Amino acid sequence: MTRAPLKMPGDTNERVKLILAGPKDTGKTCLANYLGNLTPKLTATSRPTIGVRIVEFERTGLKLVKQKGIQKDGKVLVELWDVSGDKNFQACWPAICKDAQGLLLVFNPDSRNAEKDIEFWYKSFNPKIKDSCILVLGHHKDEEATKKPTKLRKCYTNF
């Protein structure tokens, strides 16, 4: 199966491909479902993603700033690529990253390995996404989590 290119000739809508990546059991699929309006609220129940899952949705009424500062109201078509946290799929990551404009890096703030997780996933995905924007999200998948702020080294605030 071949997918349509992100921008079709004559298409006036903006299209964005975002990668949602991070370790297993951090709630990436829950976030994807919520952002794509597939669920009304964040839930802690989901099945592990096998390989990748694509959630497509649109957002309207946004102020879009194009090159040269031109601003317009618009509709954005979003492809949110929910990547499995299983490192067995690592060979697929370069193909998944093709044409991506951004990375949502999710980690569990309650994990003792949070900094190592962020570093591994950042190094694995950032070089593959050209001119990308990166957002690092600490997500408590479990509702009974401590919800204490996680302190990360200063270097992670300057990606």
pLDDT of residue 155: 47
State the pLDDT at residue 2.
44
Mean pLDDT per 10-residue interval, the chain, length 159 residues: 48 79 89 81 73 87 61 77 91 90 88 88 81 77 55 51
Predicted local confidence at residue 83, as pLDDT: 93
Contact 101, 111 (CB under 8 A): no
* pLDDT value of residue 131: 60
Tokens of 89: 């799929």
Which pTM value belongs to this model? Answer: 0.75
pLDDT score, position 69: 55
The residue count of the chain comes to 159
Q: What domains appear along the chain, each with residue ranges and CATH number?
A: 14-64+71-157 (3.40.50.300)
